[in-house]
A and B are shown apart, each in its own frame.
Chain A
Amino acid sequence: MIHFVLLISRQGKVRLTKWYSPYSQKERTKVIRELGGVILSRGPKLCNFVDWRGFKVVYKRYASLYFCMCIDQDDNELEVLEIIHHFVEILDRYFGSVCELDLIFNFHKAYYILDELLLAGELQESSKKTVARLIAAQDSLVETAKEQASSISNIIAQATK
């Protein structure tokens, strides 16, 4: 299973974290610091896997961002590597050629998308189309609620005039 997902920039800034195994606040900070050190220092053209405290971290760099997922020793590394890519493709489709800034200013969106992709540290949906459809449905739910809210406040505003 995937124990956590970590997005860090080349400067070591965290852009997203998601923990599927229980880590205390202290442990989380430590993991990020330690792993950041290990992964950012790895040169190009090396393999995408790192041994780490009895686990394995599968990572891949996209432009300035490192996507990391921590898995068990015996899990299938390439499968997870492609989950990362699958995630990136979905982000890309949603934001339209996604860049780090998109993920900074819309980090909550990244969380929504991740929640449609992974659950309990396992892959939930392997169809990009389905994920896109579900996210669009959520967005429209939020939009409708907003419109309703503004129309209600309009009504109230007019009624109290």
Chain B
Amino acid sequence: MAMHGMRGLSVFISEIRNCQNKEQERLRVDKELGNVRNRFKNEKVLTPYDKKKYVWKMLYIYMLGYDVDFGHMEAVSLISAPKYPEKQVGYIATSCLLNENHDFLRLAINTVRNDIIGRNETFQCLALTMVGNIGGRDFAESLAPDVQKLLLSSSCRPLVRKKAALCLLRLYRKNPDIVNVDGWADRMSQLLDERDLGVLTSSMSLLVALVSNNHEAYWSCLPKCVKTLERLARNQDIPQEYTYYGIPSPWLQVKTMRALQYFPTIEDPHTRRTLFEVLQRILMGTDVVKNVNKNNASHAVLFEALALVMHLDAEKEMMSQCVALLGKFIAVREPNIRYLGLENMTRMLMVTDVQEIIKRHQAQIITSLKDPDVSIRRRALDLLYGMCDVTNAKDIVEELLQYLSSADFTMREELSLKAAILAEKFAPDLSWYVDVILQLIDKAGDFISDDIWFRVVQFVTNNDDLQPYAAAKVKEYLDKSAVHETMVKVSAYILGEYSHLLARRPGCSPKEIFNLLHEKLPTVSTTTIPILLSAYAKILMHTQPPDQELQSQIWAIFNKYESCIDAEIQQRAVEYLALCQKGAALMDILAEMPKFPERKSSLIKRAEYSEADTAEQSAIKLRAQQQTSNALVVTDQHSANGATSPVPVGQLSLVKVPSMITTENDTSSDHTLSQQNGALSNVDPQPPSADLLSDILGPLAIEGPPDATVQSENNAASGLEGGSDAIDGSAIVPVEEQTNTVQPIGNIAERFHALCLKDSGVLYEDPYIQVGIKAEWRGHHGRLVLFLGNKNTAPLVSVQAIILPPAHLKMELSLVPDTIPPRAQVQCPLEVVNLRPSRDVAVLDFSYKFGTNMVNVKLRLPAVLNKFLQPIQVSAEEFFPQWRSFSGPPLKLQEVIRGIRPMPLPEMANLLNSFRIMICPGLDPNPNNLVASTTFYSDSKPAMLCLVRIETDPADRTQLRMTLASGDPTLTFELKEFIKEQLISIPTAPRAPAPAAAPPAAQPTPQIPPNDPAAILAGLLS
């Protein structure tokens, strides 16, 4: 290493360092600047070495923060020096001292160009570096073609070409027209074939900028990006020097994935599959390691992969994997990962249907709001703001209010604005909204902008029911000793308008209200006094019968302010005084304020504006802009509903107004049903339409699943793929025996039945492993996560999980690792899509090895028919026309069922409710009958309404007659059979042994292939 020192420079730096204080340093610097200035005056006699030295000194002084307003010319002139050392200093000093807008730079353009087109490689590098760092529009126009030539030249070495790529990127940013799209796209695509990873990295940065503006032109680059990514992710043919802590250039991986995020979709199935394989690999294969840098690098790649998966959001299974990962991240100790977990969850919210999963992490996110690190607190606030909706608004806003008292000052304004917006957007009732805003003003008055209190006044004015409540509430606040001025403003306004509504309450006589307000007058500024004066005038007007004493008191105040120096106050005082003399006319002029026209909240507009303001050309934001906010529309309607809800004044804080919007998963129990008896506001507005009738015309075999043949073929195929010996009828006996040596803990069948009713629990357990399941159902989609927990201190190996799906379900299980480390839990997401109604059950063929024990079990998965039902309550007016329209078989089927387990009618109602078939009380005049309704979701058809009627015989509880109707014959049949099964064998009761209780291997099933799920099921029933 050559350390060619520059003695004069070192001496100067030492002297600066030895200065005792700032003053001394300044003196020394001034002296040196004088010296340099003198030297530069006699430029002719300066040796190149001296010139270099003085330019460095200048740069050093500049770096210390002193103004250096001369010598720029000297720095620029060094660029044209013939020798490398001077030229180098000239280029570097120029790019440090000047920015692109500097006039001096123009002087250098010619020299720079000569260096670029010249043959000297080192000069080319220097020139490209400077242009790449500070080149402006002028440079873009005069140099772009030359830079392009270098980038594409086959004779240039990588060290020049990588600089040319980034230099071109800079020039492109200054003037996008310099890249001629027609011819350029092909060249760009060729650049991606580059072997040198330095050039490829730079070219990829260039591509990111190009596609961010216009992806259309660069489609041809897409497969190459995927190829590059694959090569890196699989570490194929990557030189050692381009791996960073064992990771093939994490930077290039990140950049490549960035570029891919600008393409809206990937259509070519092969490319898409390859990409998803790579992404899956990254998602699953990134472990936490001890080395900080390796960890950071691998997580940089992981987070970029997450962003790309989000962008390509089609793959539901991966999405849930992503949320699961993020959920893990927000709870780790490493603050960077926590921060990024929160940030990426916020980004994830833009993808439509992950909100529900993210909500599960609400508690953890709220904890992050109290993190010692303000950066993390900010991210948590953003996330809470983003994930808030009607279901959790109360909790979240309350947390924000609580946090407000302890929040840093830098965050308070943002915090209170966000709380105010959320309160407005998602208020379950308006009184709550008023409470929140008043608390905000009380706790953080200094940070409450006028917009916020204007808005609350607007709401109170527009909602008659709210007025007495708001008036009573602000009075409470005024009773406190210290009141923020904003509170005085809003109270004065509201009490002026509406305090007469409280007149009969103790302490609320006009006189008392006046005194309460007037006490505050000495403490407020001139902007608030006019509001107080208006309030006095209004209070006076509302005082019935007139109170002479109060009148003279208020008139005296108006008198006093008649000569006030503040024009606004004076005008009010004069006018009110004059109006008071007018008698009846006063009533008109001071009458209650008219309602405000409904308009969009200025707060929300403000928030949207500030978001749009910083909009860069980033993929995430582009998408955010395309997505219209539907939350707003919904809640607008909602607040209108809430406004009209009649609420007894004064008890509001105690009364919980039933929310009009029920959560989707609300399988509410019967007591709330009876309360909501008449409330039918949430009926699905789209009952099955007439065109469904056309479906009936198709030939359908009602008495059996219509696609049984397809099913068995399909299963035979899937069985072959996952062929495990144990399924095979001719299984070797020892294997079978080994299987039996491990006894399951608990009853597998009971566990399954319990899981049919709830969404999480244990599916299987034995001494070595516990298989848990957690499911979320939404319409025809299901998202299950299998938790494979190793209970031992030794690893479980040869872990295999194969899903044998019935024909009506599409199931995708993510990669199950081959080994489960000791005491570790592995999560395997499983996506389910329901295609058709069917009672067939999916089976999980699960095996692992512990020591020499090979364990193989087949478990039914609780992806059963009722999971795709959504309860719906139907009114009499809707029920009967529907019921009649399903005129008979095959749409409407009736059956007398015997052998029912006797149970009282309410129990049966509960049972149906628990299967998401909702009892509609009061529809059937006969108290021994039950009428219920539900909707069924499948991929092939829109939601289908299903209606059920059960007629019981009080004399014989073991039999009943059931009628089932829906718009789909298969659905009618399957649902009828399903309910029948449930009524005959009650899941909570101990199960009677099934007729075929032999182990699967022992049961000869010659006519069906041994892999048929029916055969497996028969075994499972034991």
18-45 of chain A: CB within 8 A of chain B:
18-20, 22-25, 29, 32, 43, 45
Q: Is the CB of B84 within 8 A of A50?
A: no
Interface centre among A15, A72, A138, A140 (most CB of B within 10 A): A138
Q: Is the CB of A128 within 8 A of B1?
A: no
* Among B158-166, B187-195, B386-394, B963-971, the stretch in contact with A: B158-166
Q: Is the CB of B92 within 8 A of A112?
A: yes
113-141 of chain B: CB within 8 A of chain A:
122, 128-129, 132-134, 136
Q: How far is the CB of B62 from chain A (nearest CB, A)?
A: 9
Q: Is the CB of A123 within 8 A of B201?
A: yes
Inter-chain CA distance A145–B47, complex, in Å, is 14
With an 8 A cutoff between CB atoms, is A120 at the interface?
A: yes
Residues of A near B85 (CB, < 8 A) are 141-142, 145-146
Residues of B near A126 (CB, < 8 A) are 197-198, 201, 242, 244, 249, 251-252
Our pick among B63, B133, B241, B373 for the contact of A47 (Cβ within 8 Å) is B373
* Among B31-39, B95-103, B554-562, B884-892, the stretch in contact with A: B95-103
Q: Is the CB of B198 within 8 A of A125?
A: yes
Inter-chain CA distance A3–B340, complex, in Å, is 21
Q: Is the CB of A23 within 8 A of B251?
A: no
274-324 of chain B: CB within 8 A of chain A:
293, 296-297, 299-300, 303-304
Q: Is the CB of B92 within 8 A of A115?
A: yes
With an 8 A cutoff between CB atoms, is B339 at the interface?
A: yes
Residues of A near B197 (CB, < 8 A) are 126-127
Q: Is the CB of A78 within 8 A of B336?
A: yes
Residues of B near A19 (CB, < 8 A) are 99
B347: nearest chain-A partner, CB-CB: A74
Our pick among B2, B129, B166, B250 for the contact of A142 (Cβ within 8 Å) is B2
Inter-chain CA distance A96–B3, complex, in Å, is 12
Q: Is the CB of A119 within 8 A of B335?
A: no
Known A-B contacts A45-B335, A82-B293; the reply to A125 vs B13 at CB < 8 A is: no
With an 8 A cutoff between CB atoms, is A76 at the interface?
A: yes
Q: Is the CB of A82 within 8 A of B244?
A: yes
Q: Is the CB of A139 within 8 A of B2?
A: yes
64-101 of chain A: CB within 8 A of chain B:
72-74, 76-79, 81-83, 85-86, 94-96
Q: Is the CB of B336 within 8 A of A124?
A: no
Residues of B near A142 (CB, < 8 A) are 2, 4, 84-85, 88
A27: nearest chain-B partner, CB-CB: B99
Q: Chain B, 241-256, contact with A by CB distance < 8 Å: what is the 0/1 string?
A: 1101000011110100
Interface centre among A19, A45, A78, A128 (most CB of B within 10 A): A78
Residues of A near B13 (CB, < 8 A) are 104-105
Residues of B near A104 (CB, < 8 A) are 13, 17
Residues of A near B614 (CB, < 8 A) are 54, 73
Q: Is the CB of A123 within 8 A of B251?
A: yes
Q: How far is the CB of A144 from chain B (nearest CB, A)?
A: 9
Inter-chain CA distance A154–B992, complex, in Å, is 110
Residues of A near B909 (CB, < 8 A) are none
Residues of B near A108 (CB, < 8 A) are 56, 59, 89, 92
Inter-chain CA distance A43–B296, complex, in Å, is 20
A93: nearest chain-B partner, CB-CB: B1
Main secondary structure of the interface of B (DSSP, over half): helix
Q: Is the CB of A79 within 8 A of B252?
A: no
Our pick among A13, A127, A129, A143 for the contact of B2 (Cβ within 8 Å) is A143
Inter-chain CA distance A137–B166, complex, in Å, is 21
Residues of A near B134 (CB, < 8 A) are 22
What's the tally of chain A residues with a CB closer than 8 Å to chain B?
69
Our pick among A32, A106, A111, A124 for the contact of B201 (Cβ within 8 Å) is A124
Q: How far is the CB of A67 from chain B (nearest CB, A)?
A: 14
Residues of B near A141 (CB, < 8 A) are 84-85, 122
Inter-chain CA distance A14–B61, complex, in Å, is 11
Q: Is the CB of B241 within 8 A of A127?
A: yes
Our pick among A16, A74, A95, A128 for the contact of B63 (Cβ within 8 Å) is A16
Q: Is the CB of B336 within 8 A of A107?
A: no
Q: Is the CB of A73 within 8 A of B201?
A: no
Our pick among A50, A78, A96 for the contact of B303 (Cβ within 8 Å) is A78
Inter-chain CA distance A45–B373, complex, in Å, is 9
Inter-chain CA distance A49–B303, complex, in Å, is 15
Known A-B contacts A16-B63, A127-B197, A140-B2; the reply to A145 vs B83 at CB < 8 A is: yes
Q: How far is the CB of A133 from chain B (nearest CB, A)?
A: 9
With an 8 A cutoff between CB atoms, is B780 at the interface?
A: no
With an 8 A cutoff between CB atoms, is B520 at the interface?
A: no
Q: Is the CB of B336 within 8 A of A139?
A: no
Q: Is the CB of B618 within 8 A of A72?
A: yes
Q: Is the CB of A129 within 8 A of B241?
A: yes
Q: Is the CB of B129 within 8 A of A115?
A: yes
With an 8 A cutoff between CB atoms, is A46 at the interface?
A: yes
Q: Is the CB of B169 within 8 A of A120?
A: yes
Q: Is the CB of B96 within 8 A of A18?
A: yes
Residues of B near A54 (CB, < 8 A) are 614
Residues of A near B89 (CB, < 8 A) are 108
Known A-B contacts A94-B1, A120-B166; the reply to A14 vs B67 at CB < 8 A is: no
Q: Is the CB of A106 within 8 A of B340?
A: no
175-210 of chain B: CB within 8 A of chain A:
197-198, 201-202, 205
- 27 residue pairs bridging A and B, Cβ less than 8 Å apart: A14-B63, A14-B64, A18-B96, A23-B99, A29-B65, A32-B65, A72-B618, A73-B618, A76-B258, A76-B303, A78-B296, A78-B300, A78-B303, A79-B251, A79-B300, A96-B1, A104-B13, A108-B92, A111-B96, A120-B133, A123-B205, A123-B251, A126-B242, A126-B249, A126-B251, A127-B241, A130-B198
A49-B375, A126-B197 given; 9 more Cβ-contact pairs under 8 Å? A22-B101, A78-B336, A111-B92, A115-B133, A120-B166, A124-B166, A124-B201, A134-B159, A143-B2
Please report B residues at the A interface, Cβ cutoff 8 Å: 1-5, 10, 13, 17, 49, 56, 59-60, 63-65, 67, 83-85, 88-89, 92, 96, 99-101, 122, 128-129, 132-134, 136, 159, 162-163, 166-167, 169-170, 173, 197-198, 201-202, 205, 239, 241-242, 244, 249-252, 254, 258, 293, 296-297, 299-300, 303-304, 335-336, 338-340, 372-373, 375-376, 378, 614, 616, 618-621
Please provide the 8 A-B residue pairs with the shortest distance between their CB atoms, ordered closest to farther. Answer: A78-B300, A47-B335, A139-B2, A120-B170, A74-B618, A119-B166, A46-B373, A122-B205
